[in-house]
A = this chain, B = another copy of it.
Amino acid sequence: MPKSALRQQLNLSEAVEDYLKAIYQLHEAAQRAGETSARVTTTALAGALGVAPGSVTGMIKKLADDGLVNHRPYYGVDLTATGERLALEIVRHHRLLELYLTLVVGFGWDEVHEQADALEHAISEEFEDRIDSILGGPTVDPHGDPIPSKEGLLPEMVALPLSQCAPDAARALVIARVLTQATDLLRYLAGLGLVPGARIVLLGREPFDGPLHVRVVGDDDTPHAISFQVASLLSIAAPDPDTPH
């Protein structure tokens, strides 16, 4: 029995898949934010899913009965090993679809999130395998988010928010990942050339979490000022010592 067919064996409802994915992603975001106990709260889930908190409690109880989450009442939830496997299968679908929709079907990176949300529940394992091979076994989606492998392993990414980088006019930084799915923001960033893979120089920054001055290498070289909040959504892959400027 192939390990990765779990999702189709269990025949989860769309609602269940959405909950698992949301729990996974909130957990991940909390870890990224450096929180010690990466617990996921009822309210956070309700907000992410657009449902009332009461509905979340009900569903969580069901998921706990089914062994997909651990629930500590009045505290939070947590995926079990099985739950995480399933969540990763869904995230894999989502990210493969986002990449497929941009590279093959021709959508912009600001258009694919909603469509992938709808399609991720509908595609077969065979379709997943086909687009994976059409895309050449990709490891990141158009936003730089890592694509879990069929076995449920995430490519490890060491990344630091641009907002925490020190200015260094002599060093190019590579954007690894853009941590938003907001259409408007994605369009704004694409307009500035701030996309995964872009090389930028952090020229300077204003104090008190003020704007950062950046230049996109290979662009028209105009410096741009971006807010601290936006900078905190840009993950920097690693300093690139070979190519100063």
Query: Which residues of chain B come closer than 8 Å to A107, judged between CB atoms?
Result: 126, 130
Query: Which residues of chain B come closer than 8 Å to A134, judged between CB atoms?
Result: 105
Query: Which residues of chain B come closer than 8 Å to A127, judged between CB atoms?
Result: 101, 105, 115
Query: Which residues of chain B come closer than 8 Å to A106, judged between CB atoms?
Result: 130
Query: Which residues of chain B come closer than 8 Å to A122, judged between CB atoms?
Result: 118-119, 121-122
A-B contacts, 23 of them at CB < 8 A, read A101-B127, A104-B104, A105-B127, A105-B130, A105-B131, A105-B134, A106-B130, A107-B126, A107-B130, A111-B126, A114-B124, A115-B123, A115-B124, A115-B126, A115-B127, A118-B122, A118-B123, A118-B124, A119-B119, A119-B122, A119-B123, A121-B122, A122-B122
Q: Complex: how many Å from CA A171 to CA B200? A: 70
Against B, the Cβ 8 Å flags (1 = close, 0 = not) of A37-60 are 000000000000000000000000
Query: Which residues of chain B come closer than 8 Å to A105, judged between CB atoms?
Result: 127, 130-131, 134
Q: Which residues of A contact B (CB under 8 A)?
A: 101, 104-107, 111, 114-115, 118-119, 121-124, 126-127, 130-131, 134
Q: Complex: how many Å from CA A122 to CA B93? A: 14
Question: How many copies of the shown chain assemble into the complex?
Answer: 2
Q: Which residue of B lies closest to A105 (CB)?
A: B130
Smallest CB–CB gap between A119 and chain B, Å? 5
Q: Complex: how many Å from CA A107 to CA B121? A: 19
Smallest CB–CB gap between A126 and chain B, Å? 7
Q: Complex: how many Å from CA A115 to CA B130? A: 13
Q: Complex: how many Å from CA A118 to CA B101? A: 18
Q: Complex: how many Å from CA A123 to CA B112? A: 12
Q: Complex: how many Å from CA A124 to CA B101? A: 12
**Lowest 10 A-B CB distances belong to which pairs?**
A122-B122, A118-B122, A119-B122, A105-B130, A115-B124, A106-B130, A115-B127, A105-B127, A121-B122, A119-B119
